Amino acid sequence: MTHHSTDFSHLAKQLEAYTRKYAHEVLLLHLGHGEIEDQIIIFKGFSSSLMQPTDFNPDNPVLAEMPILRIDRLQSPYNPNQPIFLEQNLSLEKMQRYLSEAGIA
């Protein structure tokens, strides 16, 4: 499935809105395309890359135009040494169902 940049920017805004609504959750996105991989953490409406430098300007998108391989839902606060997973290996389609159920369009 290919996404255009507007889709990515809209998806990022949706995921950030989800974490504002459910502040007890952290989303961890695993992205990849060939040799290039990234992990994006989204918490309380903010996105940050765990593998790439993150632009200090929050208006610049963090979510790269790479396929989302899977999404993990974690308990906040996020501790990389002892993560508490609520749900692992979600597909983008499953996460989009959560967004719909939360009333996030």
Average pLDDT of the chain is 86
Report strand pairing: 85-90 vs 25-33: unpaired
Instruction: Reduce the DSSP state of residue 46 to 3 states and report it.
Output: strand
pTM: 0.83
Dist. CA 21–CA 61, nearest whole Å: 20
Asked whether the predicted pLDDT for residue 6 surpasses 60, the reply is no
Residue 60 confidence (pLDDT): 58
- Residue 24, Cα to own-chain centre: how many angstroms? 15
> pLDDT of 40-88, one tens digit each?
999 999 988 888 766 666 565 556 577 899 999 999 999 999 999 999 9
